Structure 1
């Protein structure tokens, strides 16, 4: 089982917007439970292996309602990596920016750097 955690605050523009969020979320195949835990919303999924359609729905839902796209990286597998990890995909930076991959390099300082890291000058 996989669990996604939405952090508060979640912003809805109306009661209908909130209803649309929960209706959409609960309609995604593989989602088995949605419950509030403190200021978090825990979304339980049947498995980490979800269909392409379900993963695309989660990407769309997270994008529309401001979820942390990086949580979705856990669903990458050999059958979806080609399209899911494509640098041309609009979600790529949000999903994979924080996930180490083969582009991580060791700098002379011994600290790992990824593309996009900000260099700091030392005094």
Structure 2
């Protein structure tokens, strides 16, 4: 039997209403997101971007980049909850972490 993480399907995250202030700003965002471990593809243009993520390649350390990018660009961080794994649930749900209120506004 395959481990749980290997059986998980690719996660699709849709980012919309982005605002870039220059072409280099957009390039920096796309490049940073593309270089993040677990991100398989980044497609789209301007205000709507689709990101495919392999959940099996995500761990606590690798979550820091998408969290910081989503925070910096004002992207709805609740979407990142789908990447929460049992192994680092406590870390993601740390109430004193800067992302907690944005990621878990209902708690």
TM over 0.5: yes
- 1:20 is matched with which residue? 28
**Larger radius of gyration between Structure 1 and Structure 2:** 1
Structure 1, unmatched stretches of 5+, are 99-114, 116-123
TM-score, normalised by the number of residues in structure 2 = 0.81
> Which protein has the bigger helix share?
2
- After TM superposition, which residue ranges in structure 1, 4 or more long, deviate above 2 angstroms? none
- Of structures 1 and 2, the one with the larger relative CO (CA 8 A, separation 6+) is 2
**1:67 is the counterpart of 2:71:** no
- 1:95 is matched with which residue? 103
**1:82 is the counterpart of 2:86:** no
TM-score, normalised by the number of residues in structure 1 = 0.71
Q: Is the 8 A contact 1:4 1:43 kept in 2?
A: yes
For each residue in 1:3-59, what CA deviation from the matched residue of structure 2 results, as whole angstroms up to 9, or x when unmatched? Answer: 111013x1112221111101101000111111128x631100122661222211000
